[in-house]
C-alpha cells in the first residue's frame, strides 16, 4: 500500500509497552503530532529485549497494545506498521522466529547494537543476519555508538555488507551532534532518518525538523533518496516471517 506522507521508521508510539507512550491518549496525541508533521506511516518499534520477553510474548503484548490503540484511533492519522527495536543479543544470528520482529510483512530488522565496545563476534553475527538469514538490517541511531574508535572501525566493516544506518532526527537538531549525524548519513550505503519519538515533551515526533536540516545540508535529492530507501524497506515481501 502506498502511503501519503513520509515514513517515520522509528517510534515508541505503542502504549505501555516500553519507555515510550504511557497511555492510549498519549499515543493518539503523538500520532496527531506526526500527522501535522506530514508523516503518513510510522513503524512502531517498541524495544525488544530478549531477557525480558520471548518473541511470542512480545508479539502478543504488541498486538494487544495495537488493538487498544486502533479502537481509539481517529481517522486521518498515520498508518502504524508493527515492528521492534531489537536489542542485540548473543546468538541472535541463530535465533528462530526472528522474522516476527521485522517491520511487519518485510525482512527489515531494526537492530540496536550494544552500548559497549563491539566485538568481532558481534560483527560476525550481524554479517550472518544479512548474508545467511537474508535480513535487511537497519542499525538504529549509530551516532550513539561512535564515541568509541573501535566501534567506528567496526561500523565501516558493517557498511560493506551493506546495512542501513538510521540516524535520529534529534541528532541533526543539536549543533554539537549534527556533524556526526550528517557524516553517518553521507557514508551510509543506505541512509535513513527516524524520529525515535518516545513522548510529546523530551523526545517528541520531530521528523519534519530533521528533514529540514537534511535538505539544508545534504540537499533535496539526498532526502528523496532516503524516502525511497524507507519505502523499499517497508514494502511487503514474501516469506517475511522466517
Instruction: Out of 196, 210, 211, 214, point to the residue binding Fe ion (CB under 5 A).
Output: 196
CB of 196 to Fe ion, least distance (A): 4
Which CB atom, from 204 or from 217, has the smaller least distance to Fe ion? 204
Residues in the interface with Fe ion (CB under 5 A) total 2
CB closer to Fe ion out of 8 and 85: 85
Q: How far apart are CA 111 and CA 101, in angstroms?
A: 10
Q: Is 143 in the site for Fe ion (CB under 5 A)?
A: no
d(CA 113, CA 155): 10
Nearest to Fe ion of 2, 51 (CB atom):
51
Sign of the four-CA dihedral 48, 53, 55, 60: negative
- Residue 49 Cβ vs Fe ion, minimum distance, rounded to whole Å: 12
* Alpha-carbon span 122 to 138, nearest angstrom: 15
Instruction: Report the residue closest to Fe ion, judged by CB.
Output: 196
Distance of closest approach, residue 83 Cβ to Fe ion, in angstroms: 11
By beta-carbon proximity to Fe ion, the closer residue of 111 and 185 is 111
Q: Which residue has the cell 521528523?
A: 207
Cell 513522548, residue located: 199
Q: Strand 164-168 relative to strand 136-140: parallel, antiparallel, unpaired? A: parallel
Task: Work out how close the CB of 10 gets to Fe ion at its nearest, in angstroms, rounded to a whole number.
Answer: 6
Distance of CA 83 to the CA centre of its chain: 8
Report the nearest approach of Fe ion to the CB of residue 191 (Å): 17
Contact region with Fe ion (CB under 5 A), list: 33-41, 81-89, 148-156, 229-237: 81-89
Instruction: Please say which residue, 76 or 144, places its beta carbon nearer to Fe ion.
Output: 144
Contact between 85 and Fe ion per CB under 5 A: yes
Pick 9 or 129: Cβ nearer Fe ion: 9
Task: Classify 26 as helix, strand or coil.
Answer: helix
Q: Which listed range, 96-104, 116-124, 172-180, 195-203, lies at the site for Fe ion (CB under 5 A)?
A: 195-203
Q: Are 167 and 207 in contact (CB under 8 A)?
A: no
How many Cβ atoms are within 10 Å of 173's Cβ, its own excluded? 15
Minimum distance between the CB of residue 66 and Fe ion, rounded to whole angstroms? 17
- The answer to whether residues 206 and 197 touch, using CB atoms and an 8 Å cutoff, is yes
The region of 34-42, 57-65, 82-90, 143-151 touching Fe ion under the rule CB under 5 A is 82-90
Whether residue 162 has a cis bond before it, omega within 30° of 0: yes
The enclosing H or E element of 40 equals: strand 39-48
Sheet with 108-112, side-by-side order of all strands:
6-11, 39-48, 79-87, 108-112, 136-140, 164-168, 190-194
Task: Give the residue with the Cβ less far from Fe ion, 170 or 191.
Answer: 170
Residues making contact with Fe ion (CB under 5 A): 85, 196
Amino acid at each position: 500500500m502506498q502511503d501519503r506522507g513520509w515514513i517515520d521508521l522509528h517510534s515508541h508510539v505503542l502504549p505501555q509497552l516500553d519507555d515510550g507512550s504511557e497511555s492510549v491518549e498519549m499515543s493518539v496525541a503523538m500520532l496527531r503530532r506526526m500527522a501535522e508533521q506530514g508523516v503518513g506511516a510510522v513503524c512502531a518499534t517498541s524495544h525488544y529485549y530478549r531477557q525480558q520477553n520471548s518473541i511470542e510474548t512480545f508479539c502478543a503484548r504488541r498486538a494487544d497494545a495495537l488493538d487498544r490503540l486502533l479502537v481509539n484511533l481517529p481517522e486521518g492519522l498515520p498508518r502504524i506498521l508493527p515492528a521492534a527495536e531489537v536489542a542485540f543479543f548473543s546468538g541472535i544470528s541463530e535465533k528462530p522466529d526472528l522474522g516476527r520482529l521485522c517491520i511487519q510483512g518485510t525482512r527489515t530488522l531494526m537492530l540496536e547494537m550494544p552500548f559497549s565496545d563491539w566485538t568481532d563476534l558481534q560483527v560476525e553475527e550481524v554479517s550472518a543476519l544479512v548474508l545467511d538469514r537474508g535480513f535487511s538490517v537497519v542499525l538504529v541511531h549509530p551516532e550513539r555508538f561512535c564515541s568509541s574508535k573501535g566501534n567506528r572501525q567496526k561500523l565501516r566493516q558493517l557498511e560493506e555488507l551493506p546495512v542501513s544506518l538510521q540516524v535520529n532526527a534529534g541528532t541533526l537538531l543539536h549543533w554539537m551532534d549534527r556533524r556526526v549525524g550528517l557524516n553517518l548519513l553521507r557514508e551510509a550505503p543506505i541512509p535513513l532518518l527516524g524520529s525515535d519519538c518516545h513522548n510529546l515533551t523530551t523526545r517528541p515526533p520531530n521528523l519534519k525538523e530533521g528533514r529540514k536540516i537534511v535538505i539544508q545540508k545534504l540537499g533535496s535529492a539526498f532526502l528523496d533518496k532516503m524516502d525511497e530507501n524507507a519505502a523499499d524497506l517497508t514494502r511487503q515481501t514474501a516469506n517475511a516471517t522466517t
